Chains A and B, each alone.
Chain A
Amino acid sequence: MRAVALYSIKGGVGKTATAVNLAYLSAAAGQRTLLWDLDPQGASSFYLRIRTEVAKPKKLLRGKRPLDDAVKGSDFERLDLLPADPAYRRMDLLLDEAKKPKAQLRQLIAPVREAYDLLILDCPPSLTLVSENVFRAVDALLVPVIPTPLSLRTLTQLLDFLGAEGLAEVPVWPFFALADRRKRLHQGILAAPPDPRATMLATVIPYRSEVEQMGLHRAPVAAYAPGSQAALAYAALWREVAGRLGVAS
């Protein structure tokens, strides 16, 4: 099983929309895919019409209850979800109780490695113990970046943090999201590469109303607007990511 996280220090950059769409495309390409909604807001779960509720979430995070028990099948073949739970607001504290607090997530996912080909983590925005667990559990970090100075700054902060924590070898794959070519600011940043330590992926996810409508349809974009620009952009992003992970796209 390969594992990637949709991660950003900053919120509102399109993590969840990307996580859900990539998970959908991965399953459609034949991969047994598990999406873990780690964000207590539970937007991924909402998009897939699955209730944000996990029975005994604390036991789950302590490893006293197998992850598999909480997995729900989505409406799409091969795509399963580990729903979020309000208790995840205190996930830092729960992880901190583990023997190896920074490696607890890695431990928890070990038993599902056989059952899935790809795990996608939808992470809450922040730079906490949860994030550190994520960094140690995945093969790559997919980082959406809005073409604005503030968003770029958080990418730099992330790279600094990884460097300082001895995690510089964790692959960071940033990509531009919510890009609006009508905005001069966006145009300028899209043209100039931001941080030399991490090369941006080639795909740019545009700002499109189809993406916002995911909340109305409660489904991935490709499921209700398959030919749309947003759907095409996610498909291109998936091909790029799948190629790097070495899985079928």
Chain B
Amino acid sequence: MPLPPTFEIPAPLEPTALLEALGEGWSLVAESPGRRRTECADSFDWRLQARGLRLLLVSEGEGRYWTLCPRDGDLLVVAADGELPAAAGDLPAGPLREALAGLLAPRVLLARAAIEARVRRWRLIDAEGKTVLRLAEEQGLAIATEGPHRLRVPLPRRVRVQPLKGYDELGGMVAAQLELRFGAQPLAGCDCEAACRALGVAPGGYSSKIRVSLTPDLPGAEAARRIHLHLLGTLVANVPGTRAGLDPEFLHDLRVAVRRTRSALTQIRGVFPDERVRQFREAFGWMGEITGPMRDLDVFLLQFPDYHDGLPADLRGDLGPFRDFLLEERRRAHEQLARRLAAPHFRGLLKEWRAFLEAAPDPEPAPEAATPVGELANRRIWRAFRRVIRDGRTAVEAPSPEVLHELRKDCKKLRYLQEFFASLYPPERLDPLIKALKGLLDVLGEHQDLAVQAQHLEGFAERMAAAGHAPTRTLLALGALVAGLLARQVVARAAFAARFEALDSEANRAAYRALFKPAPGAAA
């Protein structure tokens, strides 16, 4: 069925007045009033919203059900047996799980907003005594599910007109009377939109992507502050989800924000006093360190199905103890991380960093603090690019793991700079450059990840053996995994040269030169 037409209505619905308006032959039967709680479900980064989907978890009396509302098309209503937060795999098997397959993992569904409503209901009955339409009047409160204050905002009184299947034309008739005689205003969209609007929650408001708007003449220090404040916002937004261990993406996004911050501190050089930069770089280095072990374990658990399927069939069963080991390690790592994220040291660092970023400009500014960011960005990106080309050419000659690792770091610096300063360049010129760079980074990233994973696996195997939790066949299975990873690393290395060639092409270099190369005479 499609979304039932909903109306905002100024005064409580008066059944006798509605019957009068409808004319002879109809009756309205009141049903017992009740309460309804509706939770708007989406992932932290609004993946369903991005696909034009809304998912509601509705509890009414004894019944609980999921309702999926596509932007257009029919509602899907499915009995619910679980609660939020829920992973895609926790949803009841069947059409709902199928509709969301591949959209969510590894993210979980969270309650992004809720509505609690008192509901009065009627059934409209025709001359045959047959129910043909249901009416529900709701008086609700939108309730915030996130943030320190559980905001509660009253919603306007609403009436829902739900003709029974096969009696659709009556919906129009009743709706017309509601509008004509009761001042009802049709409402578009589903309950999620109304609740989010009332609470000031912006669906789609979170993204791990960098969205900073700069103009070329902005002083360097001010531009850097804006970039850092944006990154800090992303970092802070992911702390509660990381502490609660809701899904692995919170920690991942948190770590990316930390890495970008460190990179920005070094790469956007000379805009802040050196001493503060050094101090904060150290602080963010520490954050990178304390979050690393947990992320490594998340990666292993996320890849576990691939590891499993990649092994010869007779060894697959022997990975069981390894999985148990990973889960136990992860549980411990999470406990420790959650404690550290709640501790005064971590909170103090963030507070100090924010205070620094929000403070009035330094009376003794750093050398580049006043340099227009357009100039600064050109200079930094051009320099980073030339370095990538220089090191890349060396790597083509002798692609050793160490050389490729260094090259990857160069590429990441260049990539981050392009992200920080993206708003300064026309997207149609910048995007192709980012694409070529991403192509190279993917190969280098895989090469490095495979090496790190192989090294970690060896470490895990040793620790399992030392703890006496490692049956011989499990160690054999891990050995086979390591061999598989190293073999894939060789393939990734072979793919490197072609990707680098695209970046080092005449056309690509000319495009970089045109877009970023500082005018002769600009400060070096």
Q: Assess the A71–B166 pair: CB atoms within 8 A.
A: yes
Cβ of A218 < 8 Å from any Cβ of B? yes
> Given that A49-B128, A49-B129, A49-B130 are known contacts, is A73 also in contact with B167, CB under 8 Å in the complex?
yes
Chain B residue nearest in CB terms to A117:
B94
Tell me the complex Cα distance, A51–B126, Å.
Answer: 12
Cβ-defined partner of B165 (8 Å) among A49, A71, A218: A71
Tell me the complex Cα distance, A15–B177, Å.
Answer: 42
Tell me the complex Cα distance, A114–B94, Å.
Answer: 9
Residues 79-97 (chain A) with a chain B CB within 8 angstroms: 80
Q: Assess the A72–B166 pair: CB atoms within 8 A.
A: yes
Tell me the complex Cα distance, A229–B44, Å.
Answer: 53
Chain B 164-186 per-residue mask, 1 if CB under 8 angstroms from chain A, else 0: 11110000000000000000000
Q: Assess the A72–B131 pair: CB atoms within 8 A.
A: no
> Given that A30-B79, A114-B95 are known contacts, is A70 also in contact with B166, CB under 8 Å in the complex?
yes
Size category, B interface: 10 to 19
Chain A 44-87 per-residue mask, 1 if CB under 8 angstroms from chain B, else 0: 00001111000000000000000000111111000010000000
Q: Tell me which residues across on chain B come within 8 A of A114, comparing CB atoms.
A: 95
> Given that A49-B130, A50-B130 are known contacts, is A72 also in contact with B165, CB under 8 Å in the complex?
yes
Q: Assess the B128–A72 pair: CB atoms within 8 A.
A: no
User: In terms of DSSP, what is the predominant structure of the interface of chain B?
Assistant: loop
User: In terms of DSSP, what is the predominant structure of the interface of chain A?
Assistant: loop
Q: Assess the A73–B95 pair: CB atoms within 8 A.
A: no
> Given that A30-B79, A114-B95 are known contacts, is A72 also in contact with B129, CB under 8 Å in the complex?
no
Tell me the complex Cα distance, A71–B163, Å.
Answer: 13
Q: How far is the CB of B93 from chain A (nearest CB, A)?
A: 12
Q: Tell me which residues across on chain A come within 8 A of B165, comparing CB atoms.
A: 71-73, 80
Q: Assess the B164–A218 pair: CB atoms within 8 A.
A: no
- Most A CB contacts (10 A, CB to CB) among B79, B166, B167 go to B166
Residues 149-200 (chain B) with a chain A CB within 8 angstroms: 164-167
Q: How far is the CB of B2 from chain A (nearest CB, A)?
A: 13
Tell me the complex Cα distance, A49–B125, Å.
Answer: 11
Tell me the complex Cα distance, A51–B127, Å.
Answer: 12
> Given that A49-B130, A114-B95, A218-B129 are known contacts, is A73 also in contact with B164, CB under 8 Å in the complex?
yes
Chain A positions within 8 Å of B, measured between CB atoms, are: 30, 48-51, 70-75, 80, 114, 218
A-B contact pairs, 27 of them (CB 8 A): A30-B79, A48-B130, A49-B128, A49-B129, A49-B130, A50-B130, A51-B128, A70-B166, A71-B165, A71-B166, A72-B164, A72-B165, A72-B166, A72-B167, A73-B131, A73-B165, A73-B166, A73-B167, A74-B131, A74-B164, A75-B123, A75-B130, A75-B131, A80-B165, A80-B166, A114-B95, A218-B129
